[in-house]
């Protein structure tokens, strides 16, 4: 049985909530259609994202981009306490003004470290804004929805400013398998290329059977499942543009349209053309 799953769609532009679990059943590898930001407050845990394992310390901020495979691993000790924000990529795109892209923090996290550390003063400020946002999101009153959106945008601006000003500690220590990281990077950079298991195994001089077992152990995915998911996520992103659906099919590595359409429907519960119509 597969050890990963998808955890659904975000029905609103963003959500924020505070969680504290004394006990939590093991969480399988999974991914979301939305970005996730976690401010880790306390506990004994590590976070695995795209094959990298990060031990967590209080005031760490975890950035998980849409489509990235991840799961927390909890160890015995203190309760697992965190504040979680879900945000739809389309909402951040709508808020972008020129070079001021609120999704910059996720791009920088992918390039440097998906877990960063906030110093005492900064974490206090971020916690204050997150708690204020959480309270407002569940309140009622005149123009509360608009006020919540303004607070959320303000929070994302402050978070991006902190990252760009190097107020967040980058290059958080992580453990990973170098060969698997190479394969993950190669796949994501060559989605339109031949990504057969024989080809990938030849890149790192391993037998394909050993690579398959190692990849599944490190990521929770089979190689085929991982490649298909990443190709479909890339295709869905391109469908928001003007490129023809057939051209998108081939540019994302699918060899025929019927296979692409069936896989897209299986993952997103609608055809590529239906998705494009929904986005218009």
Domain range list for the chain: 14-171, 177-278
d(CA 161, CA 104): 10
* pLDDT at residue 7 in the model: 60
**How much is the pLDDT for 25?**
84
- pLDDT at position 171 over 70: no
Q: Is residue 86's pLDDT more than 60?
A: yes
Write the CATH number of the domain with boundaries 14-171.
Answer: 2.60.120.280
Task: Specify the pLDDT at position 186.
Answer: 95
What CA–CA distance (Å, rounded) separates 190 from 192? 5
Instruction: List the one residue out of 60, 41, 153, 155 whose CA is nearest residue 109.
Output: 60
The model's confidence at residue 253, banded by pLDDT at 50, 70 and 90, is very high
Structure tokens at 171: 């290059």
**54 exposure class (CB count in 10 Å sphere: 0-12, 13-18, 19+):** buried
The residue with greater pLDDT, 259 or 98, is: 259
Q: Give Cβ neighbours of residue 266 (< 8 Å, ≥ 6 apart).
A: none
- 175 pLDDT band, cuts 50/70/90, is confident
pTM: 0.83
- Whole-number pLDDT of residue 139: 87
Three-class SS state of 97: strand
Collapsing DSSP to helix, strand or coil, 39 comes out as strand
Structure tokens at 192: 């339109």
Count of beta carbons in the 10 Å neighbourhood of residue 173: 10
Helix (H) or strand (E) segment spanning residue 72: strand 70-74
pLDDT tens for residues 212-247?
999 998 888 899 999 999 999 899 889 988 899 999
Residue 35 burial class via C-beta count within 10 angstroms: exposed 0-12, middle 13-18, buried 19 and up: buried
Which of 17-21, 47-51, 73-77, 153-157 has the weakest average pLDDT?
A: 73-77
Alpha carbons within 13 angstroms on the beta-carbon side of residue 9 total 6
pLDDT for 193 equals 93
pLDDT of residue 137: 84
Give mean pLDDT, residues 52-70.
Answer: 93
Residue 280 pLDDT > 80, yes or no? no
> Who's near 56: CB < 8 A, 6+ residues apart?
40, 43, 45, 46, 47, 62, 115
Higher pLDDT, 2 or 85: 85
Beta bridge partners of 126: none
Q: Kindly tell me if the per-residue pLDDT of 207 is higher than 90.
A: yes
**Percentage of residues in the chain with pLDDT exceeding 70?**
94
Q: What is the C-alpha separation between 81 and 40, in angstroms, rounded?
A: 6
In the block, which residue shows the tokens 């031990």?
55
Q: What topology is assigned to 177-278 in CATH?
A: Arc Repressor Mutant, subunit A (1.10.10)
Provide the residue count of the chain: 280
- The mean pLDDT of the chain is 89
For residue 5, the model assigns a pLDDT of: 54
Share of residues in the chain with pLDDT > 90 (%): 62
């Amino acid at each position: 049985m597969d050890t990963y799953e998808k955890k659904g769609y975000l029905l609103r532009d963003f959500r924020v909530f505070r969680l504290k679990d004394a006990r939590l059943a093991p969480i399988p590898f999974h991914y979301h259609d939305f970005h996730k930001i976690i401010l880790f407050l306390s506990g004994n845990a590590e976070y695995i994202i795209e094959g990298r394992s990060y031990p967590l310390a209080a005031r760490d901020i975890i950035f998980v981009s849409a489509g990235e495979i991840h799961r927390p691993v909890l160890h015995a000790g203190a309760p697992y306490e965190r504040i979680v924000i879900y945000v739809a990529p389309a909402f951040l795109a709508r808020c972008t003004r020129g070079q001021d892209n609120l999704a910059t923090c996720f791009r920088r996290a992918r390039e440097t470290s998906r877990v960063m550390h906030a110093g005492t003063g900064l974490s206090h400020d971020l916690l204050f804004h997150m708690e204020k946002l959480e309270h407002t999101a569940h309140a009622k009153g005149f123009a509360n929805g608009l006020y919540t959106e303004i607070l959320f945008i303000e929070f994302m601006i402050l978070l991006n400013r902190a990252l760009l000003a190097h107020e967040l500690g980058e290059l958080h220590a992580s453990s990973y398998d170098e060969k698997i990281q190479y394969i993950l990077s190669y796949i994501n950079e060559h989605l339109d290329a031949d990504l057969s298991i024989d080809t990938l195994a030849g890149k790192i001089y391993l037998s394909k059977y050993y690579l398959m077992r190692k990849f599944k152990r490190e990521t929770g995915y089979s190689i085929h499942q991982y490649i298909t998911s990443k190709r479909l996520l890339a295709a869905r992103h391109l469908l928001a543009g003007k490129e023809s659906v057939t051209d998108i099919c081939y540019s994302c590595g699918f060899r025929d349209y019927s296979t692409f359409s069936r896989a897209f429907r299986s993952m997103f519960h609608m055809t590529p053309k239906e998705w494009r119509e929904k986005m218009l």
